[in-house]
Chain A
Amino acid sequence: MFQRLPNASGERVSFTIDGRPAEALSGDSVAAALFANGVQTCRSTPVSGAPRAPYCMMGVCFDCLVIIDDVGNQQGCQVRVRPGMRVETQNGKREIAR
């Protein structure tokens, strides 16, 4: 669980998480934006289906993989959230053509 510091400044960005409307700050990565919106699990693993969440926030662990604008296996911590972005949590392996 993460919360925003009350005096954190920035422009608001509207996007969606699994189809639901959500809001982030302009400098947020997708992974940070998920935390800011109370999303605690971003994917399940292809090996055992175990739930995972972002772990390193710097592009090395690949636990923050999500589907962004219909493209799977995106590192959520390496992509900045953009207005209108469609973020989806990813279950198991990346699907073909997604």
Chain B
Amino acid sequence: MTTRYDLAVIGAGPAGLAAATLAAKRGVSTVLLDEQPAPGGQIYRAITQTPVRNPSVLGSDYWHGADLVGPFRDSGADYLPGSTVWSVSRGLEIGLSREGAARLLPAKHIILATGALERPFAIPGWTLPGVMGAGAAQILLKTSGLVASGNVVLAGTGPLLWLLAWQYLRAGARIDTILDTTPRENWRQAMPHMTEFLRSGYIGKGLKLLLEVRRKVKVIGNVSALRAEGDGRVQSVVHRQGDGAEARLPADTLLLHHGVVPNINLANAIGCAQNWDEGQRCWVPTVDDWGATTVEGVSIAGDGAGIAGALAAEHRGRLAALDALHRLGRIDRAERDRDAAPHREALDRAQRGRVFLDTLYKPARDFRVPQDDTIVCRCEEVTAGQVREAVKLGCSGPNQTKSFLRCGMGPCQGRLCGPTVTEVIADARGVSPAEVGYYRLRPPVKPITLAELASLPKSEDEINAVLHH
């Protein structure tokens, strides 16, 4: 195996697969690292081995993932599945764990394709067993052919919620109720972007899917408050429609979804600058048109650099790979720009209608800024009320509340609380989230055992530096 790759790509979803394929085909020594045992990322999870063989259940958009895996396999890129990346140094050395042993893998250029995760949807009771992300339920369907049974309630907003409902119905699974939290006023705000959306590829497919789900499942709209209740596990979902009275539904499973946000932990820990995206209400690493970050030699492709969806991710992967070729001295600027043209066009097409979706499916303030008794940090069990108390004591941002409360200090390293904590502090201070900031994350971005660290190969110099200092 090559000791120093020209290009290392982290994440085997659409962006990572497309980037690695393009680079390797053009003769660049490329390695694709991925935490999962098989390629596809989350959107095309288990694409090579799903037990759900009936193609109409997961739908044609899912099966498109196979078109990315074939060319990748033929590209000549090395592939290291089951690799957990826990750091990237300024010298572009990647720290990773694989099969219980850690190693350092140097690269000349790195493309992060770490994708997205579901926006935390903190409601009272969301830590109860039986409550999980709609995306999580979709992963169970894709990887294992498992569907929720008993009383199943879906709650939230966003394309994935409706897609999961549609896939469940296709699979013959039952959904009792969908609690739609899309705020009514979002429609008014989204309308100016409707024309662009009508020109997108989403409209036909999206409408058909929505209508089919609405025909078969009871949908309660304009839901303004939600609470999961139960003894040791979820048993019921209490909800409120608009200003109406509370109502209760029995639930064995509650699947929550409020869209997805970029998974920024690795980029943040590398030191890449990031900015607050007001439209998507999340932190996004700051990148140029090619996905290049503020750290030399590190680019980001796909949803990890701002949510644009799976098709856009492919094209963003190819653009980042072309820029990497240029930076590695393989092609000049003119060739990069020329070869990028079709991918830029395709990217523009894939992004059409995105603003409409972002605006329509923006979660309501009351869900982004939960009430006092709601746990925001699942790991350390810190409530929104505790965060507000800390703000009163003078904490101005997530790093201070972290020191005061351990909020964000658990194993998930803020992935499940960060966006909420930012919003709660911003709301309490009456300032923009941009001013409040985000956690300053540090490596390792995933927990690593001392045994794994101790297994790192060491040079004579490194041993001497410690023993004879």
| A interface residue numbers (CB < 8 A to B) | 1-5, 7-10, 25, 27-29, 32, 35-36, 40-41, 45, 47-48, 50-63, 65, 73, 77-78, 80
Contacts and interface: CB of A to CB of B under 8 A. Distances in A.
24 contacts: A1-B150, A3-B149, A5-B146, A5-B172, A10-B145, A25-B51, A35-B140, A41-B129, A41-B232, A45-B381, A53-B130, A53-B233, A54-B132, A54-B136, A55-B133, A55-B378, A56-B118, A57-B133, A58-B136, A59-B446, A61-B378, A73-B411, A77-B139, A78-B84
Contacts of A65: 411
A2 B148 contact: yes
Contacts of A58: 42, 117, 135-136, 139
Contacts of B263: 60
A58 B46 CA distance: 12
Contact of B129 (A9, A27, A40, A48): A40
B139 A27 contact: no
Contact of B146 (A36, A55, A63): A36
A57 B136 contact: yes
Interface residues of B, number: 53
Interface of B: 35-37, 42, 46, 49-54, 84, 117-118, 127-133, 135-137, 139-140, 143-150, 171-173, 232-233, 252-253, 263, 378-381, 410-412, 415-416, 446-447
B35 A78 contact: yes
B381 A25 contact: no
Contacts of A10: 51, 145
B144 A59 contact: no
Contacts of B149: 1-3
Determine chain B's interface SS by DSSP, over half rule. loop
Contact of A80 (B37, B253, B410): B37
Contacts of A55: 131-133, 136, 378, 416
B273 to A, nearest CB: 22
Nearest to B41: A58
Given A1-B150, A41-B233, A61 B416 contact: yes
Determine chain A's interface SS by DSSP, over half rule. loop
Contacts of B150: 1
Contacts of A52: 127, 129
Nearest to B252: A1
A10 B46 CA distance: 13
Contacts of B381: 45, 47-48, 50
B142 to A, nearest CB: 10
A1 B46 CA distance: 22
User: Considering residues A25, A50, A60, which has the most beta carbons from chain B within 10 angstroms of its beta carbon?
Assistant: A60
A73 B447 CA distance: 10
A40 B127 contact: no
A7 B54 contact: yes
Nearest to A41: B129
A27 to B, nearest CB: 5
Contacts of B127: 50, 52, 63
B416 A5 contact: no
Contacts of A2: 140, 146-149, 253
A10 B145 CA distance: 10
A27 B51 contact: yes
A59 B263 CA distance: 12
Contacts of B135: 56-58
A55 B84 CA distance: 19
A79 to B, nearest CB: 9
A51 B172 contact: no
A57 B132 contact: yes
Contact of A25 (B84, B145, B252): B145
A4 B145 CA distance: 6
Contacts of A35: 140, 146
A56 B132 contact: yes
B415 A28 contact: no
A51 B231 CA distance: 10
Nearest to B173: A5
Contacts of B446: 59
A96 B403 CA distance: 26
Contacts of B128: 51
B139 A57 contact: yes
B232 to A, nearest CB: 5
